[in-house]
Amino acid sequence: MRRLVNYKNVVQTWRQLEKRATELLDMTTLAIEENDQSIQEEIQQDMEEISSQLDELEIRLILSDEYDNRDAILAVHAGAGGTESQDWAEMLLRMYLRWAERHKYKVEILDTSPGDEAGIKSATVEIRGDYAYGYLKSEHGVHRLVRLSPFDADHARHTSFVLVEVLPEAEGEMDIKVNPEDLKIDTFRSSGPGGQHMQKTSSAVRITHLPTGMIVSCQSQRSQRQNKESALKVIYARLLELNRTEKEKEKAKIKGERIEAGWGNQIRSYVLHPYRMVKDHRTDYETSNANAVLDGELDDFINDYLRYKLGAGK
C-alpha cells in the first residue's frame, strides 16, 4: 500500500507538470499573436518555476534504490577529542534538524547522551518524510571541523571528528526476522535530564542483539514502553543496514571495488579558521558560506552527491 501511494503521487506530479507545460505553450502562442508584454513576463515566471520543479524531479528519479523512499534513522557520535568533538556533534545535530525543518519533515529525538561539559556524546533521531533516507544517505560518514576552540584558553586551532550514521527505517518483521530470544532487554534509571520521574523509575531501556553483540540504549522518553519501542526501532534499522551492507560487499567483490569508507576517512570538511569553507571530499563540491550550511542549507551538497553517485554507477 505504501509503494502504491508513492507511485500514485509520482504519476500525479508528472501529469500536473504536463498540464502546466501544455497551458504554457498555449499562452506562448497567444503572447506571440498579440505581442502582449505582460503575458510574456508571466510566461517567463512560469518557465522558471517549471524548470525548478524539473530539477527537483530529476533528483527524485535518481533516488531509485530499494530503501530510498523510507524514513531515516540518523545518529551522530562524537569522536576523540572530548568537549571539542562533543560540541561539534551538537552543531551537526542542529544542522540536520534545521535541514529537516526546511523540508517540513517530522523529527523525533529517540535518544541523546549529553557531553561532560558541553555538547553531546551521541544522539539518535528519526526523520520522517518522503525520501528522507534517499537524501540523507549522502551524510553517512565522518565529518571534520577545523576552528579556533571556544574551550581553549589559548584559542588554539583544533580539529574535531564526528561520525554520522544514516539508516533506512525498517518495516519491522516485513524486512528483518528477529527471534525474540536473540534480544536481551535491560532496564535502568535514566541519567539524563527529564525530572525526578525519569531518574527515580527504571524507564531507560538497553537492548542487546545477542548474535551480533549490537547494543542500543534509549532513555529520552518518560515511559519504559516508549523507550523500548524507540530502541527496537533502532535495532531493526541497524540490522537492516547490516543486511544491506553485506549485500553491497558481495557486489563489491564481483566488481572489484571497495564500498565502505571507515572511520577516519572524512567525507566532508568544515573549516571555520583561518578561512571559511565547507568541502565534500567525494564530489569536490565546496562553498565559502559555512554559516548557511551549518544552518541546514545542505541541498546543494546532497544533490551533487546523488548526481555523482549516478555517474559513478552507484
- Considering its fold, how many domains does the chain have in total? 3
Q: What pLDDT shows up at residue 172?
A: 67
Q: What pLDDT shows up at residue 216?
A: 92
Residue 190 lies in a domain: yes
Same domain, 152 and 185: no
**Residue 230 Cα to chain centre, angstroms:** 18
Same domain, 157 and 198: no
What is the per-residue pLDDT across 180-196, written as a single tens digit (0 to 9) for each?
Answer: 899 999 988 776 554 44
Q: Which of the listed residues 219, 239, 255 is the one where a domain comes to its end? A: 255
Is the pLDDT confidence value at 101 over 50? yes
**Least confident residue range of 64-68, 109-113, 212-216:** 64-68
3-state SS of 82-131 is CHHHHHHHHHHHHHHHHHHHHCCCEEEEEEEEECCCCCEEEEEEEEECCC
pTM for this prediction: 0.77
**Residue 210 Cα to chain centre, angstroms:** 28
Q: What pLDDT shows up at residue 213?
A: 92
What is the per-residue pLDDT across 117-148, written as a single tens digit (0 to 9) for each?
Answer: 889 999 999 999 989 999 999 999 999 999 99
Cα distances from 32 to residues 25, 42, 49, 52, in angstroms, run 11, 13, 21, 24
Same domain, 269 and 169: yes
Q: What pLDDT shows up at residue 260?
A: 38
Residue 67 lies in a domain: no
Residue 290 lies in a domain: yes
Is the pLDDT confidence value at 313 over 90? no
Domain that holds residue 189: 180-255
Same domain, 145 and 288: yes
Same domain, 146 and 27: no
Q: Which of the listed residues 235, 255, 275 is the one where a domain comes to its end? A: 255
Q: What pLDDT shows up at residue 183?
A: 93
| CATH of residue 202 | 3.30.160.20
Q: Which of the listed residues 255, 281, 297 is the one where a domain comes to its end? A: 255
Same domain, 158 and 287: yes
Same domain, 140 and 196: no
Q: What pLDDT shows up at residue 92?
A: 97
